[in-house]
Amino acid sequence: MMNKLSRLSLFVLAACCPPKAAAPVAPSAPTTPEPVAVELPAPEPVVARPRPQLGAWGFDATGMDAAVTPGTSFYRHANGTWLKNTTIPDDKSNYGMFTALGDISEQRTREIIESAAATGGAPGSEQQQVGEFYKSFMDEAAIEAAGTKPIQAELAAVSAIKNVDGLVARFALSGRRFEVNPFLTYVSQDERNPETHIANLAQGGLGLPDRDMYDVKAAQFSGQRDGYKKYIEAMFSLISLKNAQQRALAVYALEEKMAAAHWTRLQNRDPQKTYNKMSVIELQKLAPTIAWTKWLGGAGLASQKEINVNQPTAIAGLASLVKSQPLAVWKDYLTLRLLTDAAPYLPKKFVDTHFEFFGKTLSGTPQLRDRWKRGVDGVTGALGEAVGKLYVAKYFPPETKAAADKLVKNLLVAMGQRLDALAWMSPETKAKAKAKLATYNPKIGYPNRWRDYSALQIVAGDPVGNATRAGEFEYQRLLAKLGKPVDREEWGMTPMTVNAYYNPVLNEIVFPAAILQPPFFDPNADDAVNYGGIGAVIGHEISHGFDDQGRQYDASGALQDWWTKADADKFKVATDKLVAQYNAYCPFPAAGGKPAGCVSGELTLGENIADLAGLTVAHSAYKLSLGGKEAPVLDGTTGDQRFFFGWAQVWRRLYRDQELTNRLVTDVHSPSEYRTSVVRNLDAWYPAFGVKAGEPLFLAPDKRVSIW
């Protein structure tokens, strides 16, 4: 997907004891009764409940820092010792609970892939495809011996481009391989008519992660800009291009112009603005410097009468650059893109040069990941569901899926009850909201139908070609959707992915198998912790259908406004308060004349709404699960305390400074500390931890944001 992701414990402790013996019946005559031997049933064994993986009831209390009060920083109160004692692994830019589970999933996936590589398989079988892709990547000696031979034909093709038409043809070919190029192409559901598919044209082509990083006024990225220029020069030098430095600077200057044409991430968050269906004639008028009919033919879209242009002014600006900028610079740009895309599959000098910038300079990661880890990434990117099928069979038992199914249903009920109780929403909009909720399609663990990879050719000893063909295969799979019914069983993540998502056009919530583990969910943990962990994650995804973006899609998945103006205005009043709250979070305070590095409340709004709503709905669901009874006190902690600890625990995370700096510009999620701090908006958090006025996290009742 482009730019685009409850647990009721079934394990209860039952105390068993033998039934009392019945009293002997006195005889009618006053005689001395004979002793009666009463045979008692054997006592049922008391089955001890298995201990949870973390702590006594599902929370790692050793990671707390009791010296920090909850009202000062709930994040550090719950996680401070873990934060002090944990070191980010050298091959990572950040480390937390998601990455810890990712490491487990990665190791399990490695075992599956290496088994396939060791045993082989029939030609064309999934086992053969998985094994050969991995073995070809892992054969470093063969890769070193091949040198740049695997990409020489492509380099020659770029060098042979004679005119703008040839340049555009190369852009189309790159698009078919999902290589970086100015004109990103993909097929998706038509957001105005979600029962059909449409081809999309979107801005692309930048080497740095975001347009704003090219801005010379963004002083925090000056090192990245300089590093990128050096990277371009180094790549050109590796293939012995003459005047490498001069040519590198020219390519960088071209990308600066491309970045200036791009829309911002905030603009791209508006689904109304990014829906611009055009005929081919209209596209030609929008950007007349490109022969779009030829481009469509090269992109496999010649039969399409209409295309959705995500960012019209950006496409027009990029198209004008195609003609106005020197052809030689564009050819060097394409050479850079080719080298960057192929670098992971080329000899060590290319791998190291690529990592020097994208790892060390860009995100501050000091060490390249082990080759087997990169190999696992490559295989799962190309053949994810083939591996996922084996992963699920080994690591996702049916009882875990059943427990997750039940918990999701419980969260949906809780969300429905909260909708019913809303005082600010009109009955008209509320009825439509309930109708949308009723059509949600939860997907748990893995697809009901696995993807078919039989048309993908994996060749022994051809790592570059395998990666290229995998991209072409995926593009062709998307093209085949055009004119066909929408497949509502399709997944956008593999089962091994530690994540979750909501898809507004399919109106679905999706939870891969790998996230359904501690600390998010443990069937042996206390219910409160599970509701604060995976329950809030499920609630988060459910609520995405009603955040600032998701609320613009109706029950059928169509992009259309179904709210009354009065309801939309009330919603915006609440979300504006949330924007202001997050704008005040600054992980990098102003110092030495440099401005502070702060969260963008607007960029992160959708995820912040979902965190607030998810935690609120999960808390309601937890209370419902108690059936009107009081939660037990465990180790001196109440049910509400355990619930909020469960939430805080999943957000344990450390960042390298440069990685966090990048995320403040590129990530629609707030840093983990501030995701945890959403608790300050829930009334129940205050009495649970005795938070008082005057403490840093305290919000007066009228300042707390409550939406759902």
Phi, psi of 697 (to 5 degrees): -90, -5
Q: Is the pLDDT of residue 646 over 80?
A: yes
What average pLDDT does range 100-117 have in this prediction? 97
What average pLDDT does range 436-462 have in this prediction? 97
Say which residue the tokens 């009742």 belong to: 701
Q: Is the domain of 624 the same as that of 670?
A: yes
Q: Is the domain of 301 the same as that of 423?
A: no
Q: Is the domain of 564 the same as that of 602?
A: yes
CATH number for the domain spanning 343: value is 1.10.1380.10
Which band of pLDDT confidence, cut at 50, 70 and 90, is reported for residue 595? confident
What average pLDDT does range 241-247 have in this prediction? 98
Query: Residue 415: its pLDDT value, please?
Result: 96
> What's the pTM value of the predicted model, to 2 decimals?
0.90
What average pLDDT does range 250-264 have in this prediction? 98
DSSP at 535:
I
Q: Is the pLDDT of residue 617 over 90?
A: yes
Residues 440, 504: contact at Cβ < 8 Å? no
**Encoded amino acid at 530, one letter:** N
Q: Is the domain of 333 the same as that of 204?
A: yes
Residues 352, 343: contact at Cβ < 8 Å? no
What average pLDDT does range 93-120 have in this prediction? 97
What average pLDDT does range 324-344 have in this prediction? 98
Residues 220, 505: contact at Cβ < 8 Å? no
Which band of pLDDT confidence, cut at 50, 70 and 90, is reported for residue 591? confident
Q: Is the domain of 361 the same as that of 422?
A: no
Q: Is the domain of 433 the same as that of 345?
A: no
Local structure of 171: helix, strand or coil: helix
Does residue 666 belong to any structural domain of this protein? yes
Q: Is the pLDDT of residue 329 over 50?
A: yes
Q: Is the domain of 690 the same as that of 606?
A: yes
Q: Is the domain of 521 the same as that of 642?
A: yes
Q: Is the pLDDT of residue 317 over 90?
A: yes
CB-based burial, 441-478: b 16+ in 10 Å, e otherwise? ebbbbbbeeebebeebebeeebbbbbbbbbbbbbbeeb
Query: Residue 49: its pLDDT value, please?
Result: 66
Local structure of 66: helix, strand or coil: coil
Q: Is the pLDDT of residue 4 over 80?
A: no
CA distance 472 to 405: 36
Query: Residue 592: its pLDDT value, please?
Result: 75
Does residue 566 belong to any structural domain of this protein? yes
Which band of pLDDT confidence, cut at 50, 70 and 90, is reported for residue 22? very low
Does residue 557 belong to any structural domain of this protein? yes
CA distance 694 to 181: 53
Does residue 373 belong to any structural domain of this protein? no
CA distance 555 to 506: 9
Percent of the chain with pLDDT over 90: 89
Pairing of strands 193-203, 183-190: antiparallel
CATH number for the domain spanning 596: value is 3.40.390.10
Please, which residues bridge with residue 637 across strands? 634
Residues 522, 50: contact at Cβ < 8 Å? no
CA distance 688 to 513: 32
Q: Is the pLDDT of residue 309 over 60?
A: yes
Pairing of strands 501-503, 193-203: unpaired
Does residue 374 belong to any structural domain of this protein? no
DSSP at 487:
-
Q: Is the pLDDT of residue 144 over 60?
A: yes
What average pLDDT does range 336-363 have in this prediction? 98
Does residue 480 belong to any structural domain of this protein? no
Q: Is the domain of 94 the same as that of 168?
A: no
Residue among 71, 70, 68, 99 nearest 84 (CA)? 68
Q: Is the domain of 292 the same as that of 417?
A: no
Q: What is the mean pLDDT of the chain?
A: 92
Q: In what order do the strands lie in the sheet with 306-309?
A: 183-190, 193-203, 306-309, 277-279
CA dihedral 493, 609, 363, 143 (to 10 degrees): 10
Residue 509: enclosing H or E segment and its boundaries? strand 508-512
Q: Which of 327, 352, 368 is the last residue of a domain?
A: 368
CA distance 104 to 516: 12
CA distance 646 to 611: 14
Say which residue the tokens 């919603």 belong to: 571
Local structure of 198: helix, strand or coil: strand
CB-based burial, 73-91: b 16+ in 10 Å, e otherwise? bbbbbbbbbbbeebebeee
Percent of the chain with pLDDT over 70: 93
pLDDT per residue as tens digits for the range 23-53: 222 222 333 333 333 343 344 444 466 899 9
Query: Residue 193: its pLDDT value, please?
Result: 96
Answer positive or negative: Cα dihedral of 670, 673, 676, 681: negative
Query: Residue 527: its pLDDT value, please?
Result: 94
Distance of CA 534 to the CA centre of its chain: 15
Please, which residues bridge with residue 190 across strands? 193
Residues 225, 593: contact at Cβ < 8 Å? no
Answer positive or negative: Cα dihedral of 541, 543, 548, 552: positive
pLDDT per residue as tens digits for the range 351-410: 999 999 999 999 999 999 999 999 999 999 999 999 999 999 999 999 888 988 989 999
Q: Is the domain of 277 the same as that of 408?
A: no
* Half-sphere exposure (Cβ direction) of 81: Cα atoms closer than 13 Å: 9
Q: Is the domain of 602 the same as that of 658?
A: yes
Query: Does residue 41 have a cis peptide bond before it, meaning omega lies within 30 degrees of 0?
Result: no
pLDDT per residue as tens digits for the range 513-548: 999 999 999 989 999 999 999 999 999 999 999 999
Does residue 528 belong to any structural domain of this protein? yes
Answer positive or negative: Cα dihedral of 681, 682, 683, 684: negative
**185's tokens:** 């192409």
Query: Residue 365: its pLDDT value, please?
Result: 98
Residues 414, 624: contact at Cβ < 8 Å? yes
The Cβ of residue 555 has, within 10 Å, a number of other Cβ atoms equal to 17
Say which residue the tokens 């990128």 belong to: 228
Does residue 708 belong to any structural domain of this protein? no
Answer positive or negative: Cα dihedral of 360, 365, 366, 372: negative
Local structure of 343: helix, strand or coil: helix
CA distance 469 to 447: 24
Domain count, the chain: 2
Say which residue the tokens 């010379």 belong to: 216
Residue among 506, 562, 502 nearest 189 (CA)? 506
Query: Residue 28: its pLDDT value, please?
Result: 29
Local structure of 186: helix, strand or coil: strand
Q: Is the pLDDT of residue 343 over 90?
A: yes
Query: Residue 36: its pLDDT value, please?
Result: 32
Segments in 422-462 forming alpha helices (H): 427-438
CA distance 521 to 530: 5
Q: Could you tell me the residue range of the domain that residue 319 belongs to?
A: 145-368
Helix 164-176 with 327-342: angle, nearest 10 deg: 20
Residues 369, 91: contact at Cβ < 8 Å? yes
What average pLDDT does range 487-507 have in this prediction? 97
